[in-house]
Amino acid sequence: MSTLGDKARKLMDVVQADGTVTSALATEDALPIKDYDKLTAEEIVGRLRSFSQAELRTIDAYERKNQNRTTITDRVAALSTVEPWQGYDDSGVGAIKEALGAADVEMARAARAYERDHKDRTGVIEAADRRIETG
């Protein structure tokens, strides 16, 4: 039986094999965390939850290329998943709330779960809850 971490690692392998992010392209300047190399693994892990899937892939590629700290790569793997819909991470709260108004219940559940695990924005979670309640 594979764990969620195993599934996330497989997803990361597919994404990296697909050429979306390669370790050769991952530089500190491309990272969404300023002064990354000066931070401890714990400081970095504490910030990972707020990043998009693309940003997590960049962090993972850079980390594997450089210090390869399992504390970081394991947390990235745990956070790595498919967005509820394409472009979700690039959308603001208003756009997500609007999309949830037209979404089916399963999509609303997926958005709520994803949001809780990542950015944890109250407005999005409440909109997903309303959509789920109205069935």
Kindly report, residue by residue over 26-36, the tens digit of the pLDDT.
Answer: 788 889 999 99
Q: Per the confidence metrics, is the pTM higher than 0.85?
A: no
Model pLDDT for residues 72-121, shown as the tens digit of each residue: 999 999 999 999 999 999 999 999 999 999 999 999 999 999 999 999 99
CA gap 108, 101 in Å, rounded: 9
Residue written as token pair 């909109």: 127
pLDDT on residue 82: 92
pLDDT on residue 12: 47
CA-to-CA separations, 104 to 53, 113, 120, in angstroms, rounded: 23, 14, 21
Residue of higher predicted confidence among 11 and 66 = 66
Sign of CA dihedral 54, 110, 14, 36: positive
CA gap 80, 71 in Å, rounded: 14
